Amino acid sequence: MELGWDELADQQMAALETQGPTNVVEAVGRTLARLELDPFDPKLGTRQFTSANYGHVRATTVHSTDWTVLWTLGEGDDWILIIAIGQYSL
């Protein structure tokens, strides 16, 4: 899978990489890599909900942190759109 980035997610990731704790940056990176390999792997613990702006949105918790990656399927079969990365209560 290819990862596409919404503008908000791109800004959040850039801020995390420059200001975030190293362990969180690394954990988010591992989660993104796993999403690239198989976004539907049950071990990711992804949950799905509906958003007015994006339709079906999936939330994948970044293990060992309280961070979450929000994403949705792209228009093709081979990419996903990263919508947001942050600390969310789900």
Q: Cβ–Cβ contacts within 10 Å for residue 10, how many?
A: 13
Per residue, the 3-state secondary structure of 33-63, as one string, reads HHHHHCCCCHHHCCEEEEECCCEEEEEEECC
Which H or E element spans position 84? strand 79-86
- What are 13-68's pLDDT values in tens digits? 999 999 989 999 999 999 999 999 999 999 999 999 998 988 899 999 998 889 99
pLDDT-derived band at 90, boundaries 50, 70, 90: low
